[in-house]
Structure 1
């Protein structure tokens, strides 16, 4: 087996997820998309922003990261 610096790439198959949100959350997402367009000069559909927003949220949640890491260590 060859020991490469780059690990095997993770599964990148998109997964479609359907959710129902409140009207208030829809309005907030539309407002966020408008602010995003002003900040970056490009309009992105909300459905394109949501995955990035969720990833950023999960990446910034230190308690979640610790709990996930602890769970992975227990399952080994």
Structure 2
């Protein structure tokens, strides 16, 4: 079993956002999704959902952002 930072994707109501990613990033998201699927024993998640969880995790672990958010 691998030690991925992202494991299960939360089931939340999405807000549509359009972004452009380099092809290499998209390929890496697809590869990461396959690893998540192997780890969870489930079908591979949509790379768009995976990207959202990654951004959430990034913001949750950014100390400066958290400090700024608490001040508001």
Is TM (by shorter chain) over 0.5? yes
| Alignment partner of 1:24 is 2:24 | yes
Where in structure 1 do 4 or more consecutive aligned residues deviate above 6 Å?
none
Change in Cα spacing, 1:30 to 1:14, as seen in structure 2 (3 Å) is closer
Provide the C-alpha distance between the structure 2 equivalents of 1:22 and 1:14, rounded to a whole number of angstroms.
23
> Which gives a bigger RCO, structure 1 or 2 (Cα 8 Å, sep 6+)?
2
Provide the C-alpha distance between the structure 1 equivalents of 2:14 and 2:32, rounded to a whole number of angstroms.
24
Provide the C-alpha distance between the structure 2 equivalents of 1:31 and 1:22, rounded to a whole number of angstroms.
14
Structure 2: where are the runs of 5+ without partners? 1-11
8 A Cα contact 2:26 2:47, kept in partner: no
Q: 1:68 corresponds to which residue?
A: 69
The TM-score with structure 1 as length reference comes to 0.66
The TM-score with structure 2 as length reference comes to 0.69
8 A Cα contact 2:29 2:47, kept in partner: yes
Aligned length: 60
Q: State which structure, 1 or 2, has the greater radius of gyration over its C-alpha atoms.
A: 1
Structure 1: where are the runs of 5+ without partners? 1-11
Q: 2:34 corresponds to which residue?
A: 34
